[in-house]
Chain A
Amino acid sequence: MNKNTGMTLTEKILARASGKAAVSPGETVWVDVDVLLTHDVCGPPAIGIFKKEFGKNAAVWDREKLVIIPDHYIFTKDVYANRNIDILRDFASEQRLPYYYDVGTENYKGVCHVAMPELGFTRPGEVLFGTDSHTCTAGAFGQFATGIGNTDAAFIMGTGKLWVKVPETMKFIFEGEIPPWIMAKDLILQIIGDIGVDGATYRAMEFAGDGVMAMDMEGRMTLTNMVIEAGGKNGVVEPDQTTFDYLAGKTDKKYEPVFNSTDARYHSVRRYKSKDLQPMVAKPHSPDNKATVTEVRGTKLTRAYIGSCTGGKISDFEAAARIIKGNPLRLDTYVVPATTQVRQQLREVTFEGETLWDIFEQAGCHMGEASCAACLGGPSDTFGRLNHEEICISTTNRNFPGRMGSKKSQVYLASPYTVAASAVSGTIADPRDYLPVAVG
Chain B
Amino acid sequence: MKPKPISGKAFVLGDDIDTDQIIPAQHLVYSLEDPEERRFYGRYALSGVPDVQSGLPLGGVPFTRPDAFESEFTIIVAGKNFGCGSSREHAPFALQQAGIQAVIAPGYARIFYRNAIDGGFVIPFECFEDLSGLVKTGDELEIDRELSLLHHKPGGKKYPLRPLGDVADIVEAGGIFEYARKHKMF
Chain A contributes a number of interface residues (CB within 8 A of B) equal to: 51
Q: Indicate if the CB atoms of A401 and B29 lie closer than 8 Å.
A: no
Q: Which of B16, B25, B80 has the most CB of A within 10 A?
A: B25
Task: Let me know if B131 is at the binding interface, CB within 8 A.
Answer: no
Q: Indicate if the CB atoms of A132 and B109 lie closer than 8 Å.
A: no
Q: Which residues of A contact B114 (CB under 8 A)?
A: 148-149, 152
Task: Let me know if A96 is at the binding interface, CB within 8 A.
Answer: no
CB distance from A438 to the nearest CB of B (A): 36
Inter-chain CA distance A163–B180, complex, in Å, is: 11
Task: Let me know if B70 is at the binding interface, CB within 8 A.
Answer: no
| Interface members, chain A 146-204 (any B CB < 8 Å) | 147-152, 155, 158-159, 161, 163, 165, 197-198, 201-202
Q: Which residues of B contact A54 (CB under 8 A)?
A: 186
Known: A41-B88, A147-B87, A149-B119. A401 touches B21 (CB 8 A): yes
User: For residue B53, which residue of chain A has the nearest CB?
Assistant: A401
CB distance from B120 to the nearest CB of A (A): 8
Determine which of A28, A81, A151 lies in contact with B177 in the assembled complex, contact meaning CB atoms within 8 Å.
A151
| Interface members, chain B 76-105 (any A CB < 8 Å) | 80-81, 84-90
Inter-chain CA distance A295–B118, complex, in Å, is: 44
Q: Indicate if the CB atoms of A197 and B81 lie closer than 8 Å.
A: yes
Q: Indicate if the CB atoms of A400 and B29 lie closer than 8 Å.
A: no
Known: A231-B110, A376-B20. A149 touches B26 (CB 8 A): no
Determine which of B25, B50, B177 lies in contact with A53 in the assembled complex, contact meaning CB atoms within 8 Å.
B177
A395-434 interface bits toward B, Cβ cutoff 8 Å, 1 = contact, 0 = none: 0001011110001000000000000000000000000000
| Interface members, chain A 23-73 (any B CB < 8 Å) | 28, 41-42, 44-45, 48, 52-54, 73
Q: Which residues of B contact A286 (CB under 8 A)?
A: 16
Task: Let me know if A84 is at the binding interface, CB within 8 A.
Answer: yes
Q: Which residues of A contact B16 (CB under 8 A)?
A: 197-198, 286, 400
A67-104 interface bits toward B, Cβ cutoff 8 Å, 1 = contact, 0 = none: 00000010000101101100000000000000000000
Task: Let me know if B166 is at the binding interface, CB within 8 A.
Answer: yes
CB distance from B108 to the nearest CB of A (A): 8
Q: Indicate if the CB atoms of A401 and B20 lie closer than 8 Å.
A: yes
Q: Indicate if the CB atoms of A151 and B88 lie closer than 8 Å.
A: no
Q: Indicate if the CB atoms of B29 and A147 lie closer than 8 Å.
A: no
Q: Indicate if the CB atoms of A131 and B177 lie closer than 8 Å.
A: no
Inter-chain CA distance A198–B84, complex, in Å, is: 8
Task: Let me know if A377 is at the binding interface, CB within 8 A.
Answer: yes
Task: Let me know if A339 is at the binding interface, CB within 8 A.
Answer: no
Inter-chain CA distance A233–B28, complex, in Å, is: 23
Task: Let me know if B173 is at the binding interface, CB within 8 A.
Answer: no
Q: Indicate if the CB atoms of A73 and B29 lie closer than 8 Å.
A: yes
Q: Indicate if the CB atoms of A231 and B186 lie closer than 8 Å.
A: no
CB distance from A14 to the nearest CB of B (A): 15
User: For residue B108, which residue of chain A has the nearest CB?
Assistant: A201
Q: Indicate if the CB atoms of B87 and A149 lie closer than 8 Å.
A: yes
Inter-chain CA distance A48–B28, complex, in Å, is: 15
CB distance from A390 to the nearest CB of B (A): 16
Inter-chain CA distance A136–B90, complex, in Å, is: 20
Q: Indicate if the CB atoms of A42 and B87 lie closer than 8 Å.
A: yes
Task: Let me know if B61 is at the binding interface, CB within 8 A.
Answer: no
Task: Let me know if A379 is at the binding interface, CB within 8 A.
Answer: yes
Task: Let me know if A380 is at the binding interface, CB within 8 A.
Answer: yes
Q: Indicate if the CB atoms of B166 and A28 lie closer than 8 Å.
A: yes
Task: Let me know if B107 is at the binding interface, CB within 8 A.
Answer: yes
User: For residue A385, which residue of chain B has the nearest CB?
Assistant: B26
Task: Let me know if A378 is at the binding interface, CB within 8 A.
Answer: yes
Determine which of A48, A52, A84, A201 lies in contact with B110 in the assembled complex, contact meaning CB atoms within 8 Å.
A201
- Tell me the B residues contacting A by CB distance below 8 Å: 16, 18, 20-21, 24-26, 28-33, 48-50, 80-81, 84-90, 107-111, 114-115, 118-119, 166, 175-177, 180, 185-186
20 CB contacts below 8 A, A to B, read: A41-B88, A45-B32, A48-B32, A54-B186, A132-B86, A147-B86, A149-B114, A151-B89, A151-B119, A151-B176, A152-B114, A159-B180, A161-B185, A197-B16, A197-B84, A376-B86, A378-B25, A398-B20, A402-B20, A402-B24
20 additional A-B residue pairs with CB within 8 Å, beyond A201-B109, A377-B24 = A42-B87, A42-B88, A45-B89, A45-B90, A80-B29, A84-B29, A133-B111, A135-B87, A148-B111, A149-B119, A150-B32, A151-B176, A158-B186, A163-B176, A198-B16, A198-B80, A198-B107, A379-B29, A403-B25, A407-B50
